[in-house]
Structure 1
Amino acid sequence: MSRFDTAAADWDKGDLRQHIARNVAETILKHIPLNDSMDLLDFGAGTGLLTYNILPHVRSVTAVDTSPKMLEMLQSKSTPEHQVKTACCDITQMPLSETFDGIISSMAMHHVEDTSAFLQTLYDHLNPGGFIAIADLDKEDGNFHSHGNDGVFHFGFERETLTKLAEQEGFTAISFCTALTIEKPDRPYPVFLFTAMTKS
Structure 2
Amino acid sequence: MEISRENQDPVKKNVRIYWNERSKTFDQDVGHGADHHECQLWKNQLRTIIGDDKKDVLDFGTGTGMIAINLAELGHSVTGIDLCEEMLDIANRKAESKDLSIRFLLGDAENPEFPDRMFDVVICRHLLWTLPHPDVAIREWSRICRPGGVIIAIDGHQEPKDYFHHSDEKDESEKSDQEKLWEQTYSKEITMQLPNGDQLTIESLKELFTTNGLGDVQSKNLKDIAEYHQRLHSASDHERQHEVNIIWGTVQ
TM-score range (shorter-chain normalised) is: 0.7 to 0.9
2:59 to 39, 42, 56: 42
Structure ranking higher in helix proportion:
2
Amino acid at match of 1:198: V
- Measured against aligned partners, the alpha-carbon deviations of 1:141-191 in whole angstroms (never above 9, x if no partner) come to 234788446346313512222222312222111101112435444431212
| Pairs aligned (count) | 198
Partner of residue 113, structure 1: 132
> Which residue type is aligned with residue 87 of structure 1?
L
Q: What is the one-letter code of the residue matched to 1:155? A: D
1:18 aligns with 2:33: yes
Q: Letter of the 1:74 partner, please give it.
A: A
Q: Is the 8 A contact 1:24 1:135 kept in 2?
A: no
Aligned-partner Cα distance in 2 for 1:42–1:197: 16
Residue in structure 2 matched with residue 190 of structure 1 by the alignment: 243
Aligned CA-pair RMSD: 2.6
SS at match of 1:104: strand
> Paired residue for 1:69?
86
CA offset digits 1:19-52 (Å, max 9, x no partner): 497344432223331422x110000001101111
Report the alpha carbon displacement of residue 68 of structure 1 after superposing the two structures with TM: 0.6
Q: Paired residue for 1:124?
A: 143
Query: Per-residue displacement from partner, 1:82-129 (whole Å, max 9, x unpaired)?
Result: 111122010313432362000121111111122222211211120111
Q: Which amino acid aligns with 1:10?
A: T
Q: Which moved more, 1:165-174 or 1:14-23?
A: 14-23
Gaps of 5+ in 1: none
TM-score, scaled to structure 1 = 0.85
Amino acid paired to 1:7: R
Contact 2:57 2:77 in 1 (8 A): yes
Q: Normalised by the size of structure 2, how large is the TM-score?
A: 0.69
What SS does structure 2 have at the residue aligned with 1:77? helix
- Give the direction of change, closer, same or farther, for the CA distance of 1:72–1:19 in structure 2 (3 Å limit): closer
Does the C-alpha gap of structure 1 residues 90 and 174 become closer, same or farther in structure 2, counting only changes over 3 Å? same
User: AA paired with 2:44?
Assistant: E
Give 1:57 shift: 1.8
Residues 92-111 of structure 1 correspond to what in structure 2 (within 5 A)?
92-97=110-115, 99-111=118-130
Render the CA deviation track for 1:40-72: whole Å, top value 9, x for unaligned.
000000110111111122331110000011111
- Superposition deviation, residue 18 in structure 1: 3.2
Determine which of 208, 214, 225 is the counterpart of 1:165. 208
Distance 1:68 1:29, change over 3 A: same
Query: What does residue 161 of structure 2 align with?
Result: 141
1 CA distance for matches of 2:114 and 2:215? Answer: 23
The answer for the alignment partner of 2:7 in structure 1 is none
Per residue, is there more strand in 1 or in 2? 1
